[in-house]
Amino acid sequence: MGAEFEQEPHAGFVATVDDDRFFRTACHRTAFAACRGAGRPIIAPAPPGEGLRRRREDHGGSRLGRPLDHSRKRTPVSLIANPDDRASLLDHDQRFFDALVAADTARLDGLLDEEFILVAVNDGAAVTKAQLLGAIDGGLRFPAIESHHADAVVRRVGDAAIVVGRTSMNFSDADGTSFTSGSRYTHVFAADATGGWRLVSAQGTQITPSAQQ
């Protein structure tokens, strides 16, 4: 091997043109031929991936300078609400249904967020808070809503929560048109400044006979 130089690059190493075998093996024949007569050193790049491997070794095996610990496993984070949150959210759900049955628009106003949207179970219409309260003032009635909270799935994600539940209900429009159905619903809540909840979105899906089997 020819004379070695004191400093070598991170991504390669230094050899002299006197080392004929190295350059021919590394396929640097053109560079070797050009520099052979002059006796100049040439910097040869490391094999593919070698520079990255060396840098990782310098930092303990990690791109960020931290050792890699392959034995660590991420612990799944459950979104299921804790018992207190579940009780609070299902209570809010029930107060919403009770206010609908009572046609109590003042109570509904306090339970619903200003950006509330209802997707109606009977026709899929998107109904705003103002439209729902106006419809109730105009004669929309919910004679009965039976909720099945034991079946509900309640999740919390930060300041938001989702309740997926089941109801049996009937309601009638001001013109007398009635609708009766068992349904599953999704309610989305947002935490408010007082530590309570506001209902932001509600969507009902009618349960068909095939889905009940």
Give the pLDDT score at 30.
Answer: 54
User: What is residue 9's predicted lDDT score, i.e. its pLDDT?
Assistant: 46
Residues of the chain with pLDDT under 70: 1-76, 210-213
Q: Kindly report the number of other CB atoms within 10 A of residue 197's CB atom.
A: 23
Helix or strand (DSSP H, E) at 23: helix 20-25
Count of CB atoms situated within 10 Å of the CB of 84? 8
Residue pair 161/92 in contact by the 8 Å Cβ criterion: no
What would be the CATH architecture of the domain defined by 83-212?
A: Roll (3.10)
Domain with CATH 3.10.450.50 in the chain: 83-212
pLDDT score, position 12: 47
pLDDT of residue 29: 54
Question: pLDDT at position 190, please?
Answer: 98
CA angle (65 as vertex; 64, 66 as ends), nearest 5: 95
Report the pLDDT value the prediction gives residue 101, as an integer from 0 to 100: 97
pLDDT of residue 42: 53
The answer to whether 8 and 41 have CB atoms below 8 angstroms apart is no
Q: Distance (Å, rounded) from C-alpha 150 to C-alpha 188?
A: 18
